[in-house]
Amino acid sequence: EVYLVESGGGLVKPGGSLRLSCAASGFTFSSYDMTWIRQAPGKGLEWVSGVSASDGRTYYADSVKGRFTISRDNAKNSLYLQMNTLRAEDTAVYYCASSTSPPHWGQGTLVTVSS
Amino acid sequence: QSVLTQPPSVSAAPGQKVTISCSGSSSNIGNNYVSWYQQLPGTAPKVLIYENNKRPSGIPDRFSVSKSGTSATLGITGLQTGDEADYYCLSWDSSLSFGVFGGGTKLTVL
């Protein structure tokens, strides 16, 4: 069975940094594109960033481009999201998702940006 | 303002049918897969439909989809109170080079 477990969330001050991790199991991690998606409190879902399995290309929503960096370590079956220059509007639950068939999502980790 | 457009809310009585539309463009729905997610209150989203029309195991055939041009529609028949949730569509946008969600639709089963 596919499992995705996010970690690394917490409280951080505006302008600060945080690194999220997503531990994957139950599938051949290196073969699938991976994605981060977030949901601000009381708001809808927002696609944040993705990384290709085939060539490592990365993709970012305009709202995080230049501040967030997605990466993957296939040897560790792990996905990461380095978040810099955090803003209050980055406060959200962050989910990692796999492009498996069907797609799978983790349970999310909460990031709160507040002074 | 979301790239994909969904109605903010829909409602119907138990046992009835409801449809939720998702409107986009040729750069997303028109040329890429659409998936649909259900989010029950206080829980993580769950995939209902992926790759336009595939249902994961365990998703009943009460949930169906249609896609035409730059729009997709989720249909739910035999409504149950347990179907009350937020529903989201998702597609890749080839022009933006990132994924785009609809704004979400809140389903109320009266």
Q: What tens digit of pLDDT does each residue of A100-114 get? A: 999 999 999 999 999
Range B40-61 average pLDDT? 94
Q: Is the peptide bond before A102 cis (omega within 30 degrees of 0)?
A: yes
What is residue B11's predicted lDDT score, i.e. its pLDDT? 96
- pLDDT for A3 beyond 90: yes
CB contact under 8 A, A102 and B56: yes
Range B69-93 average pLDDT? 96
| Structure-token pair, residue A48 | 């944040």
Question: Which residue in chain B has the smallest CA separation from A41?
Answer: B42
Shortest CB distance from A103 goes to which of B44, B50, B98? B50
Range B75-94 average pLDDT? 96
How far, in Å, CA of A94 to CA of A9, rounded? 8
CB contact under 8 A, A50 and B99: yes
Give the number of other Cβ atoms within 10 Å of residue A74's Cβ. 14
Question: Which residue in chain B has the smallest CA separation from A61?
Answer: B98
Chain segment A35-61, per-residue pLDDT in tens: 999 999 999 999 999 999 999 999 999
Chain segment B23-34, per-residue pLDDT in tens: 999 999 999 999
CB contact under 8 A, B44 and A61: no
Return the DSSP state at B57. T
CB contact under 8 A, A105 and B45: yes
> pLDDT category, B1, cuts 50, 70, 90?
confident
All residues at 6 or more sequence positions from A28 whose CB lies less than 8 Å from its CB, including other chains: none
